[in-house]
Amino acid sequence: MESTESLRIDRDGQVAVLTIDRPAVLNALDRSTLALLGQAFSELQQDEAVRAIVVSGAGGKAFVAGADIRELAVLSPSGAHRQARDGQAVFDRIETLGKPVVAAINGYALGGGCELALACTFRIAAESARLGQPEVNLGLIPGYGGTQRLARCVGTGRALEMLLTGDPITAAEAHRIGLVHRVVPDAQLMEEALAVAGVLAAKAPVAVKYILDAVRRGVELPLQPGLALEAALFGLVAGTDDMKEGTAAFLEKRKPEFTGR
């Protein structure tokens, strides 16, 4: 899709950079932007030239500061349920994309912004970033996966502390509890995110897809079914051209050239 007023897509080789571009409202996710986000990820999933994606927020103040409060304020119970399921579907697509997605978290990542980051594969935060799930302060609960992914990421205790107090945490604290993978100076955020995405984009695409699949599905399974899943995917990846190229390149002491086949 082409860039829009609220969403910008740029390319850097095999890396796509998707920027939520609503700085006047701290990149809040209204229904329209959420739908565009889902469309963009759907198309990037199908684009074989794209092997990794970076998600960021425009301006220096926010990654995504949450949902659009004006829309939330007038939701009916049935409308709220429908919006939650729509948002969950978008974030599920991000998590199950089969391609690594790097969140470059600048400024505020609150509510839907924190949930968006949680759906990504890697989370890199600027030192000034603040992350949180403040929905309880509005008389709400997270609706785009926050109660589920946050607990799976940082453990039930820390998740409940963040969810029930609604207090945001610093990037340093988010790193300490495992919510983000790296913290970098603000000026280096995009450089670091692009570097990480570039490393991931250079790997064998099918192997990357199967690793993401094995880990995502496997953590929900008992050990033995998880091992069976791993073995099945190992068998599938052994039949790819990339596997032949990777092993040949290793034996020939050269850099592999993966094609995604």
Which tens digit of pLDDT belongs to each residue from 133-142? Answer: 999 999 999 9
- Classify 43 in phi/psi space as left (phi over 0), alpha (psi -120 to 50) or beta: alpha
Measured CA distances, 11 to 34, 64, 94, 98, 192 (Å): 21, 21, 18, 19, 16
For residues 56 and 108, is the Cβ–Cβ distance under 8 A?
no
pLDDT for 3 equals: 66
Residue 135 designated active-site: yes
Structure confidence at residue 68 as a pLDDT band (50, 70, 90)? confident
CA pair distance 165, 160, nearest whole angstrom = 8
pLDDT for 260 equals: 87
Which tens digit of pLDDT belongs to each residue from 92-103? Answer: 999 999 999 999
pLDDT for 207 equals: 97
Name the residue among 131, 138, 140 with its Cα closest to residue 84: 140
**Looking only at Cα atoms, what is the longest distance across the chain?**
64
For residues 117 and 175, is the Cβ–Cβ distance under 8 A?
no
Q: Of the listed 48, 71, 115, 245, which one is catalytic?
A: 115
pLDDT at 117 over 70: yes
Residue 257 designated active-site: no
CA pair distance 162, 159, nearest whole angstrom = 5
For residues 201 and 163, is the Cβ–Cβ distance under 8 A?
no
pLDDT for 70 equals: 86
**Reported pTM:** 0.94
Q: Of the listed 5, 71, 127, 135, which one is catalytic?
A: 135
Domains recognised in the chain with CATH numbers: 7-201 (3.90.226.10), 205-251 (1.10.12.10)
pLDDT for 73 equals: 85
Which tens digit of pLDDT belongs to each residue from 6-40? Answer: 999 999 899 999 999 999 999 999 999 999 999 99
**Mean pLDDT along residues 216-228:** 95
Structure confidence at residue 72 as a pLDDT band (50, 70, 90)? confident
18: helix, coil or strand?
strand
Looking at the chain, the whole-number percentage of residues with pLDDT higher than 70 is: 99
Compute the C-alpha angle 192/169/155, nearest 5°.
90
- Complete DSSP assignment for 168-204: -EEHHHHHHTTS-SEEE-GGGHHHHHHHHHHHHHTS-
